Amino acid sequence: MKTTTALHFKNTFEKEVYEGLTAFPKRLSSKWFYDKKGDKLFQQIMDLPEYYLTGCEFQIIDQYKNEIATLFQESKGFDLIELGAGDGKKTKILLEEFLKQQLDFTYKPIDISQNMLEELEGAILKKWPEINIKVKQGTYFEILEKLNNQPSDRKKVILVLGSNIGNLTHPQAIDFLKNIRNSMAEQDLLFMGLDQKKDPEKILKAYNDSQGVTEAFNKNILHRINKELAGDFDPETFKHWPTYDPETGTTKSFLVSTKSQQVTLKNLNLQINFEPWESIHTEISQKYDDDVVNWLAQEAGLKVVTQFTDAQSQFTDYIFKTDS
């Protein structure tokens, strides 16, 4: 492995790719799957028959939109802050209900993808020009830090849909929830979707679809490294391999090198050697039950005040308040 003597990174992507590919075992964060191509691939994933998560949460929000709006409303108005907004497909159900009930609100979608934010903002203003929308590009942790530094007496409703917290280990999830807790006042709410433990076969199929879209989504990170860091990864020499452990409720995805090979990243002056069947850990997706959710909340200084689930109890949206 060849590296520069002094490491100077232009951005977080360079830094995390360098650190991940020089670690043992190797790793790359799933948050870097997302660029214009990755955004489109994930939209395709959400429409796949195997990817049950989107349909389940869509059903929940559509069925309980009136009750949810009632919980969110505030005489002084509220800010709806969505972490990982994506295309806002499910959130639009709530926005329409808020308008129907003539609620006073501001919508603040947050996403790592500037492309998705621009598309979302355009779609919202085209359909509902009266909505006050303020988009913000960045990672969850960057935005949460800014929230902490911008106290407000206006009610905050923090929205985390799609079981996005599942991309974190339990210790990371507790830290994440603590950061949210630190940005919340007594009247604020956290509305969070969490995928539930279920038939292991059903879970595994959601991350290994028959059309190969999830594989393409995982491999997009290699294409992105090639494009942005002048890399020479050959994605066809890597096998997409998802696993699910029903004991811990942990889904993991890997890209496994099918041969001995060397990869060069010119922009980082870096050469990486792969042994046959050596892996890159690319993604984690945690599954939950009520006991685990209540434990995570307690560790973070939060409490569950109510919850909504789909007809088959495959997915649950929880509402949290500060435990004080």
- Cα of 274 vs its chain's centroid, Å: 29
Q: What is the pLDDT of residues 177-221, one digit of tens each?
A: 999 998 899 999 999 999 999 999 999 999 999 999 999 999 999
Residues 90, 121 contacting (CB under 8 angstroms): no
- Amino acid identity of residue 66, one-letter, is N
- Looking at residue 6, its pLDDT comes to 53
Neighbours of 173 (CB within 10 A): 21
Looking at the chain, how many residues does it have?
324
Q: What is the pLDDT of residues 72-93, one digit of tens each?
A: 998 889 999 999 998 899 999 9
Mean of pLDDT values over 306-320: 97
Domain ranges of the chain: 12-33+202-286, 52-196+290-322
In 140-206, alpha helices (H): 140-148, 170-182, 200-206
**Proportion of the chain above pLDDT 70, given as a percent:** 98
CATH 3.40.462.20, domain 52-196+290-322, yes or no: no
C-alpha to C-alpha distance for 238 and 276, rounded to whole angstroms = 10
C-alpha to C-alpha distance for 82 and 158, rounded to whole angstroms = 6
Neighbours of 259 (CB within 10 A): 12
Beta strands 250-257 and 238-245, pairing class:
antiparallel
Neighbours of 66 (CB within 10 A): 11
Nearest residue to 118 (alpha-carbon basis) of 12, 39, 231, 6: 39
- Looking at residue 204, its pLDDT comes to 96
Q: Is the pLDDT of residue 2 over 50?
A: no
